[in-house]
Amino acid sequence: MGDALSAIEESVSIISDMNTQIASASGQKSVVAERVCEHLESVGEIARRNTTAIGGLSIQLSKQISFINQKIIWRVPTYPC
């Protein structure tokens, strides 16, 4: 009976150690998941800012192209065909 009780105590100790390791791993997993979420939010914000900036640059470039186009039209003489 003493051997059986010792085996049970050892099994309980092993299970307790496993529970501690699982709890630790779960905590680490939660920390990593939070960090990933924070980084994804940062990436999203950077993407939004870049999209806004690119949109503004696109408008500026469009205006400049239109201006240059008008200058070219005024400089090229028209010949009747």
What's the rounded Cα separation, in Å, for the pair 52 and 2? 75
Sorted by where each begins, the domain ranges of the chain are: 1-75
6-28 pLDDT tens trace: 999 999 999 999 999 999 999 99
Helix (H, G, I), strand (E, B) or coil at 79: coil
* Token code pair at residue 48: 């939004």
- List the single range of 15-19, 53-57, 70-74 with lowest mean pLDDT: 70-74
Q: Is the pTM of this model over 0.85?
A: no
Cα–Cα distance measured from residue 70 to residue 64, given in angstroms and rounded to the nearest whole number:
10
The number of residues making up the chain comes to 81
Instruction: Give the DSSP H or E segment for 54.
Output: helix 2-75
**pLDDT tens-digit map of 28-45:** 999 999 999 999 999 999
Q: Which residues contact 12 (CB under 8 A, 6 or more apart)?
A: none
